Structure 1
Amino acid sequence: MYLWIKALHLVAVVTWFAAMFYLPRLFVYHAMARDNDDIKAIDYFRIMERKLYRGIMVPSMLAVIGLGIALLYLVPGFMSQGWLHAKLALVVLLVGYHHMCLAYMKKLASGTCTKSHVYFRWFNEAPVIVLLAIVILAVVKPF
């Protein structure tokens, strides 16, 4: 049972990260369309962002958290290991990033976002760093 839940957890992680990589990229294009007053493109990006967030990002995050809890239930001894505490702290940061994406999505949709496409290009890099750290913690288990 453990390996099945772990496999599903990993699939959910991949899906969540794919959405967290793609949504800020849409923000880049949305901000560029805003700067060019391209109303048709802006409407298109609003729809894409909403569908990606609600249809993929939220369900993936919930699956990651739910399956992660199931794994901890099956192997509670992991809670005594330092690498898991660090990994869980990074997951909390990712949930915060996830909600920042929602806030930016709402601001872009309402036309109140003043962030530039360059800002969103940098914003898009944050989950890469967290992903690298989480993979190292989960595989190497350095402490």
Structure 2
Amino acid sequence: MTDFLITLYPWNKAIHIMAVISWMAGIFYLPRLYVYHTEQSQPGDSRDEVFQTMEDKLLRVIMTPAMIATWIFGLALVFTPGIVDWGAVWPYTKGASILAMTWFHHWLGMRRKDFASGSNTLTGRQYRMMNEVPTVLMVIIVLSVVVRF
């Protein structure tokens, strides 16, 4: 099995990077859509319907499959011999940040349900502030992997 993972390493890494880029694009954009949705529409109006469609497609068609692929190919990298130095700090900071990013993804999904039911209580300002969460996590993840502290 380990020979198989070593052989596939470049492919796993490439697909993992593409999945991360797709996931992150959505995770940066969806909260911004929520800002516009909150500030420019009312439940049930025509803009609300357009925002709902955009948000739903982004979450279901792009973000969730990208998150799943990120996890699958990331775990394949973790299990590839010689890739992760478990004696260093970086795998743990990256892992904690990935768990936080996954939580944020699910939090966005819960907010999506709030919009769908017409029960959103957050303001555009609150969504703007939450939009900074993935940026901070991305910085931690990239520094963890590149600097390997």
SS of residue in 1 equivalent to 2:30: helix
TM-score by length of 1: 0.93
Q: Which moved more, 1:75-84 or 1:17-26?
A: 75-84
Q: Which residue of 1 aligns with 2:50?
A: 44
Measure the CA separation in 2 of the matches of 1:25 and 1:76. 39
Counterpart residue type for residue 60 of structure 1: A
Gaps of 5+ in 1: none
Q: C-alpha deviations, 1:80-125, integer Å up to 9, x for none? A: 1321111011100011000000000110121111111111111111
Give 1:72 shift: 1.4
Give 1:9 shift: 0.5
Measure the CA separation in 1 of the matches of 2:36 and 2:81. 43
Runs of 4+ displaced beyond 3 Å: none
Correspondence 1:55-74 to 2 at 5 A: 55-74=61-80
Report the structure, 1 or 2, having the larger helix content: 1
Provide the aligned length of Structure 1 versus Structure 2.
141
Give 1:79 shift: 5.5
Give 1:34 shift: 3.5
| Identity fraction in percent | 35
Q: Which residue of 1 aligns with 2:4?
A: none
Measure the CA separation in 2 of the matches of 1:29 and 1:72. 38
Measure the CA separation in 2 of the matches of 1:55 and 1:64. 14
Which of 6, 20, 23 in structure 1 is aligned with 2:27?
20
CA RMSD of aligned residues (A): 1.5
Measure the CA separation in 2 of the matches of 1:77 and 1:43. 46
Q: C-alpha deviations, 1:53-78, integer Å up to 9, x for none? A: 00000000000000011111213661
